[in-house]
Amino acid sequence: MGMKFALGVVLGLALAAIVGVKVLGLQYVFGVVIPYAALGTFLIGFIYRIIDWARSPVPFRIPTTAGQQYTSLTWIKPSKFDSPYTKLGVVGRMALEILLFRSLFRNTKMQLREGGKLTYHWEKWLWLAALAFHYSFLIIFLRHFRFFADPVPGIIQWLENADTFFEMGLPGILLSDFVLVVAATYLFIRRVVIPQVKYVSLPADYFVLFLILAIAITGMLMRYIWRVDIVSIKQLTMGLVTFHPTVPKGISVLFFVHLFLVSILFAYFPFSKLVHMGGIFLSPTRNLPNNSRMVLHVNPWDYPVKVHTYEEYEEEFREKMVEAGLPVEKPLEGMEEDKAE
Amino acid sequence: MKIYDAKPILIGLLIFVGFVSMPFWLHGGKVSPPPDPKLDTPAIQILEKKECVASKEYMRTSHMVILNDWRTQAVRNSKRFYVTAGGANYPASLQRACMKCHSNKAQFCDTCHNYIGLAPYCWDCHLPPKQETAQATK
Ligand code: HEM
- Whether the CB of A155 is below 8 Å from some CB of chain B: the reply is no
Question: How confident is the model at residue A340, as a pLDDT?
Answer: 47
Dihedral, CA of residue A259, residue A261, residue A263 and residue A265, to nearest 10: -140
Q: Taking a C-beta distance cutoff of 8 angstroms, is the pair A58, B4 a contact? A: yes
Residue A233 inside a domain? The answer is: yes
Higher per-residue confidence, A176 vs B2: A176
Q: How buried is B37 (Cβ within 10 angstroms: 0-12 exposed, 13-18 middle, 19+ buried)?
A: middle
CA distance A9 to A3: 10
- The pLDDT, as a whole number, for residue A292 is 81
A43 lies within 8 A of chain B by CB: yes
Q: Which residues of chain A are within 8 Å of residue B62 when distances are taken between CB atoms? A: 227
- Collapsing DSSP states into helix, strand and coil, what is residue A113? strand
Residues A222 and A90 in one domain: yes
Exposure string of B109-129, with b = 16+ CB inside 10 Å and e = fewer, is bbbbebbbbbeeeeeeeeebb
- Per the CB < 8 A criterion, the answer to whether A132 and A179 are in contact is yes
Q: Are residues A155 and A202 in the same domain?
A: yes
Which residues 6+ apart lie within 8 Å of B89 measured at CB? B81, B82, B83
Strand, coil or helix: B106 = helix
Let me know: does B83 contact B89? Beta carbons within 8 Å. Answer: yes
A261 and A319 within one domain: no
**Residue A14 included in any domain:** yes
Considering the domain architecture, whether residues A105 and A193 belong to the same structural domain is answered as yes
Nearest CA in chain B to A222: B61
Phi, psi of A161 (to 5 degrees): -65, -40
Q: Is B87 inside any structural domain? A: yes
3-state secondary structure A55-107: CCCCCCCCCCCCCECCCCCCCCCECCCCCCCCHHHHHHHHHHHHHHCHHHHCC
Residue A40 CA to residue A48 CA, distance in Å, equals: 12
Query: Mean per-residue pLDDT for A330-340?
Result: 64
A76 and A224 inside one domain:
yes
- Give a yes or no: residue B99 inside a domain: yes
Q: A118 and A112 in contact (C-beta within 8 Å)?
A: yes
Residue B28 lies in a domain: no
List Cα–Cα distances, B87 to A261, A340, B44, B84, B101, in angstroms: 42, 136, 18, 5, 17
DSSP-derived 3-state class of residue B90: strand
Residue B46's domain comprises: 33-137
Q: What is the pLDDT of residue A72?
A: 67
B4/A55 touch (CB, cutoff 8 Å), yes or no? yes
Domain assignment present for residue B110? The answer is yes
Return the percentage of chain A with pLDDT > 90, whole number: 67
Listed residue (B22, B7, B13) closest to A281, CA to CA:
B13
pLDDT at res. A69: 64
What band does A300 get if pLDDT is binned at 50, 70 and 90?
A: confident
Answer whether 0.95 is exceeded by the pTM: no
Residue among A150, A58, A90 at smallest CA distance from B23: A150
Q: How far apart are CA B126 and CA B117, in angstroms?
A: 20
- Asked whether A208 and A133 are in contact (CB, 8 A), the reply is no
Does residue B23 lie in a domain region? no
Task: Give the Cα separation of A66 and A84 in Å (integer).
Answer: 10
Bridge partners, residue A117, by sequence: A113
What is the number of alpha carbons within 13 Å of residue A294 lying toward its C-beta?
A: 12
Q: Quick check: is A327 in a domain?
A: yes
- On whether residue A221 sits in a domain, the answer given is yes
Considering only CA atoms, which of B136, B114, B112 is closest in space to residue B126? B136
* pLDDT for A15: 96
Residue A266 has pLDDT above 60, yes or no: yes
B13 contacts in chain A (CB < 8 Å): 47, 50-51, 278
Amino acid at A231: V
Q: What is the domain count for chain A?
A: 2
Q: Which of A2-11, A65-74, A185-194, B114-123 has the lowest mean pLDDT?
A: A65-74
Identify each DSSP E strand in A164-234 by its residue range: none
Other CB atoms within 10 A of residue B10 CB: 15
Residue A83 forms part of a structural domain = yes
A146 in contact with ligand 1, CB cutoff 6 A? no
d(CA A239, CA A28): 12
Q: What pLDDT score does B1 carry?
A: 65
Report CA Rg, chain B: 23
CATH number at residue A222: 1.20.950.20
Is residue B135's pLDDT more than 50?
no
User: Does one domain contain both A171 and A319?
Assistant: no
pLDDT: which is higher, B65 or B86: B65
Distance CA A180, CA A189 (A): 14
Task: Give the span between the Cα atoms of A30 and A18, in whole angstroms.
Answer: 10
A182 and A320 inside one domain: no
- Residue A241 to residue B68, Cβ atoms within 8 A: no
Does B27 reside within a domain? Answer: no
Q: Distance between CA atoms of B71 and B94, rounded to whole angstroms?
A: 8
Q: Are residues A165 and A60 in the same domain?
A: yes
Query: Which of B7, B30, B36 to probe the A interface (max A CBs under 10 A)?
Result: B30
A171 touches chain B (CB under 8 A): yes
Q: Is there a single domain that holds both residue A192 and residue A322?
A: no
On whether residue B11 sits in a domain, the answer given is: no
Chain B residues within 8 Å of chain A (Cβ atoms): 1-6, 9, 12-13, 16-17, 20-21, 23-24, 26-32, 34-35, 57, 60-62, 64-65, 67-68, 112, 114-119, 121
Task: For residue A90, give its domain range.
Answer: 2-287
Rounded CA-CA distance B117/A149 in Å is: 9
Confirm or reject contact between A326 and chain B (CB < 8 A): no
Q: How many domains does chain B have?
A: 1
Looking at the structure, tell me whether residues A37 and A167 fall in a common domain. Answer: yes
What's residue A211's pLDDT?
Answer: 97
Q: How many whole angstroms separate alpha carbon B117 and alpha carbon A231?
A: 11
| CB of A94 less than 8 A from some CB of B | no
- Mark yes or no for CB contact A229/B60 under 8 Å: yes
Question: Residue A11's pLDDT band (boundaries 50, 70, 90)?
Answer: very high
Looking at the DSSP bridge assignments, the partners of residue A111 are A119
- Whether A255 is in the pocket of ligand 1, judged by its Cβ within 6 Å, is yes
The secondary structure of residue B116, as a DSSP letter, is T
Could you read off the pLDDT of B10-22 as tens digits, one per residue? 999 999 999 999 9
Biggest distance spanned by C-alpha atoms of chain A: 118
Q: Is residue B76 part of a domain?
A: yes
Which of A30, A144, A145, A223 gets mutated to test ligand 1 (max ligand atoms within 8 A of its CB)? Answer: A144
Tell me the β-bridge partners of A109.
Answer: A121
Find the radius of gyration of the CA atoms of chain A.
31
